[in-house]
């Protein structure tokens, strides 16, 4: 299959409405979408990615009214989150609408709903005029794509169309919050910080690393975000070993920087998150063998960054 590249959201939406798979940008990472109400098309998302069928998809909507097509009810705890964070990089888990095809939710009785904030995504979703289930547009296990070229590298020839936007702003995925429990629980740390959620809601549980939430958020069970190179986590750059096929990314500079194949010193957490997956893919293109990645203080965006780093380093 040839994968059409387009900068026109209406053209990409037209492909989706005709049953196609479309890669599209959001403010977090690129997604791979289909029409929620064409289950055969949704099934092809799993095939194209090599994604296990037990890993549910989050559904993207343009307008608040569309949530009613996807979810059965909106629990009280979800209301302030909708008000404050949507549109934006937050996914809320709600009770599933009985008519939503079960291939999307992998048989669960809940559904993840996300309303992206990027204007290009909004134009695309408006033209689709249907809810759009979409995981990140990478081959399963690989780093999430932050550019359309990365989508093409992973899925070119396997999907119908790519909507070409710029490099994504956040670089790390949405925060996934389960609103069907009291208090709500963060199942995946992401671009919206736990501190920001607590400001709005007060109590928020965070057990993203525990067995229980790993079971409830099936995607967190699998190895993830991994480049071909081995990722080694360091707290301090002095723990690294320089070499021409070794790369480094972190907030503090290693010494001597010239002894590495590539060094990425990030000015702050936002820049680190923005660059991380892109750096992983760049290092693979250059054939590097080891990527040293510095862990960060576990507050704000640091929680999401450490989570992605740990998963990328898992063997």
Distance in angstroms between the alpha carbons of the first and the last residue of the chain: 33
Q: Is 136 in the site for Mg ion (CB under 5 A)?
A: yes
Looking at the chain, how many residues does it have?
Answer: 315
Structure tokens at 256: 């001597």
- Indicate the residue among 136 and 174 with the shorter CB distance to Mg ion: 136
Does position 147 interact with Mg ion (CB under 5 A)? The reply is no
x-or-dash string of contact with ligand TXA, 37-76, rule CB under 6 A? ------------------xxxx------------------
User: Residue 217 binds which one of ligand TXA, Mg ion, none, with CB within 5 to 8 A depending on kind?
Assistant: ligand TXA
Output the smallest distance, CB 137 to ligand TXA, in A. 7
- Part in contact with ligand TXA (CB under 6 A); list of ranges 107-115, 122-130, 156-164, 234-242: 107-115
In Å, how far are 14, 211, 265 from 268, measured between CA atoms? 40, 31, 9
Q: What is the number of the residue whose Cβ is closest to ligand TXA?
A: 219
What are the start-end ranges of the E strands in the chain?
Answer: 4-6, 22-24, 31-33, 58-60, 90-95, 110-114, 132-133, 161-163, 175-178, 185-188, 205-206, 230-234, 243-250, 260-265, 290-294
Query: Cβ closer to Mg ion: 48 or 251?
Result: 48
- Long-range contact pairs involving 184-188 (C-beta distance under 8 Å, separation at least 24): 184/77, 184/78, 184/81, 185/213, 187/93, 187/213, 187/216, 187/217, 187/220, 188/91, 188/217, 188/219, 188/220, 188/307
Q: Report the distance separating Cα 277 and Cα 147, nearest Å.
A: 10
* Helix or strand holding residue 133 (H, E): strand 132-133
DSSP string covering 220-249, please? GGS--S--SSEEEEESSGGG---EEEEEEE
Nearer to ligand TXA among residue 136 and residue 147 (C-beta): 136
Q: Using the rule CB under 6 A, which residue among 3, 9, 20, 28 binds ligand TXA?
A: 28
Q: Could you tell which of ligand TXA, Mg ion, none binds residue 105, using a CB distance below 5 to 8 A set by kind?
A: ligand TXA
Residues numbered 179 to 208 that lie near ligand TXA (CB under 6 A) are 187-188
- Token readout for 300 is 């704000």
Question: In this chain, which stretch among 32-40, 41-49, 132-140, 306-314 interacts with Mg ion, using CB under 5 A?
Answer: 132-140
Find the binder of ligand TXA among 101, 156, 218, 300 (CB under 6 A): 218
173 binds ligand TXA (CB under 6 A): yes
CB of 245 to ligand TXA, least distance (A): 29
What is d(CA 266, CA 251) in angstroms, rounded to the nearest whole number?
A: 5
Number of residues near ligand TXA (by CB under 6 A): 29
Q: Which positions touch Mg ion (CB under 5 A)?
A: 136
Q: Which positions touch ligand TXA (CB under 6 A)?
A: 26, 28-29, 31, 55-58, 91, 93, 105, 108, 110-112, 114, 134-136, 173-174, 176, 187-188, 216-220
């Amino acid at each position: 299959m040839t994968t059409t590249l387009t900068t026109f959201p209406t053209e990409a939406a037209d492909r989706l409405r005709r049953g196609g798979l479309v890669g599209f940008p959001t403010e977090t990472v690129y997604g791979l979408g289909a029409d929620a109400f064409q289950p055969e098309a949704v099934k092809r998302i799993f095939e194209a990615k090599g994604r296990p069928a037990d890993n549910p998809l989050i559904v993207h909507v343009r307008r608040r009214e569309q949530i009613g097509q996807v979810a059965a009810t909106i629990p009280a705890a979800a209301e302030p989150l909708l008000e404050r964070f949507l549109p934006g990089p937050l996914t809320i888990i709600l009770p599933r609408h009985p008519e939503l095809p079960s291939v999307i939710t992998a048989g669960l009785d809940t559904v993840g709903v996300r309303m992206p904030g990027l204007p290009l995504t909004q134009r695309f979703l408006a033209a689709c005029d249907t809810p759009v289930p979409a995981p990140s547009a990478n081959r399963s296990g690989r780093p999430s794509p932050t550019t359309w070229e990365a989508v093409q590298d992973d899925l070119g020839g396997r999907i119908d169309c790519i909507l070409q936007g710029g490099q994504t702003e956040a670089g790390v995925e949405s925060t996934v919050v389960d609103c069907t429990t009291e208090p709500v629980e963060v199942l995946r740390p992401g671009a919206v910080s736990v501190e920001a959620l607590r400001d709005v809601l007060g109590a928020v549980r965070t057990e993203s690393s525990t067995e229980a939430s790993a079971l409830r958020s099936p995607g967190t069970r699998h190895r993830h975000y991994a480049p071909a190179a081995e990722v080694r986590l360091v707290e301090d750059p002095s723990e690294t070993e320089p070499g021409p096929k070794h790369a480094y990314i972190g907030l503090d500079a290693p010494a001597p920087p010239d002894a590495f194949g590539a060094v990425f010193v990030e000015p702050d957490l936002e820049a680190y998150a923005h660059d991380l997956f892109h750096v992983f893919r760049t290092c693979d293109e250059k054939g590097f063998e080891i990527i040293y990645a510095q862990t960060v203080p576990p507050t704000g965006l640091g929680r999401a960054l450490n989570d992605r780093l740990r998963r990328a380093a898992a063997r």
